[in-house]
């Protein structure tokens, strides 16, 4: 329980332009952290954008429902906007490299939709983790930097997560670069 309280407190103190990373050992710790991020957003009446793989979207929705949050209601009132990570990547990746103008247009469209009824927004995205798993390390770093620029310009916190196992075969310098591309790291669970 102490770990869960620590992550809940962590999310209470993020700033409007923090770019947060989690390197997780297992799916449960990742989903605990993501759930706390989303629940804190709902508590603050933020709109929450989630760009994730199907299995993570489904698991998160089940957890939110168990917490008494109606995912359908949150989605219908514009507070919960969910997109598929691979489909989003397909909109702006060309020859293994992110097209910045297309990425910005896609995310700015989601932010505008979220802000129709909620002035503050927070976002989670795992597109970078998918690129990393495909060993597109330079493209991953470019996307991380594009996210940071957008977070600062549009003033919203962003949460990214990577499975630790993805870094087993990567160069340690690349791993440090991923960590350094963020303003904060989640406390380990």
Please check whether residue 64 is in contact with residue 90, taking contact to mean a CB–CB distance below 8 angstroms.
no
Does residue 175 carry a pLDDT above 80?
no
Does residue 164 carry a pLDDT above 90?
no
Residue that is written with structure tokens 């989690």 in the block: 22
Q: pLDDT of 45-101, one tens digit each?
A: 999 999 999 999 999 999 999 999 999 999 999 999 999 999 999 999 999 999 999
pLDDT of residue 156: 96
Whole-structure pTM value: 0.94
Question: How many other C-beta atoms are found inside a 10 Å radius of the C-beta of residue 170?
Answer: 14
């Amino acid at each position: 329980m102490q770990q869960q309280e620590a992550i809940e407190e962590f999310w209470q103190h993020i700033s409007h332009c923090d770019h947060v990373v989690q390197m997780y050992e297992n799916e449960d710790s990742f989903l605990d952290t993501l759930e706390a991020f989303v629940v804190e957003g709902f508590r603050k009446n933020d709109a929450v954008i989630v760009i994730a793989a199907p299995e993570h979207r489904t698991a998160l929705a089940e957890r939110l429902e168990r917490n008494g949050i109606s995912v359908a209601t949150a989605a219908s009132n514009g507070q919960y906007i969910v997109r598929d990570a691979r489909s989003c990547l397909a909109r702006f990746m060309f020859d293994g490299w992110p097209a910045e103008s297309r990425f910005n247009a896609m995310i700015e469209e989601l932010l505008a939709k979220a802000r129709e009824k909620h002035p503050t927004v927070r976002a989670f995205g795992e597109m970078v983790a998918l690129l990393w798993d495909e060993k597109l390390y330079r493209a991953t770093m470019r996307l991380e930097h594009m996210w940071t620029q957008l977070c600062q310009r549009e003033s919203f916190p962003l949460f990214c997560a990577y499975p630790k196992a993805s870094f087993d075969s990567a160069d340690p310098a690349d791993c440090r670069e991923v960590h350094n591309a963020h303003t904060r790291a989640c406390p380990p669970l």
